[in-house]
Amino acid sequence: MKKFRNAKVALCTGILLAALISFAALTGQRAQAADQPPSNAEVKIDNFTFQAPSVTIPAGTQVTWVNRDDMPHAIASDDKLFKSKALDTDEKFSFTFTTPGMYHYFCSIHPKMTGEVIVK
């Protein structure tokens, strides 16, 4: 009987702990969201060019490339930080830049197409 009660107490403590942890996690997420609103930037690929060819963003920004051409294109960074598959018309590829620096990239199908992302 005593054993049973101990198990019950342990179960209750466990549930309480789990609830506390999820509450803390939720509160933490909300605080972070308030401090850093999600920022996004878009680079269109049209007529064999990246528009704009140079974008300047704060660290933590997600850049999304959208292929508006009727030809497939693929995004690859010079330093192999990111690489997309071949994007067909209207397909997208996203990458979040967390570290300040200059990031050069090109189209791996048409290497003459180049662009850069400057992260502040």
- The binding site for Cu ion (CB under 5 A) comprises 73, 107, 109-110, 113
Q: To the nearest whole angstrom, how small is the minimum distance from the Cβ of residue 43 to Cu ion?
A: 13
Residue 49 or 96: the one with the smaller Cβ distance to Cu ion is 49
Residue 59 or 76: the one with the smaller Cβ distance to Cu ion is 76
105: CB partners within 8 A, 6+ apart:
75, 76, 77, 78, 82, 114, 115, 116, 117
Q: To the nearest whole angstrom, how small is the minimum distance from the Cβ of residue 32 to Cu ion?
A: 36
Starting at the edge strand found earlier in the chain, the sheet holding 101-107 runs: 54-57, 114-119, 101-107, 75-77
Residue 26 or 52: the one with the smaller Cβ distance to Cu ion is 52
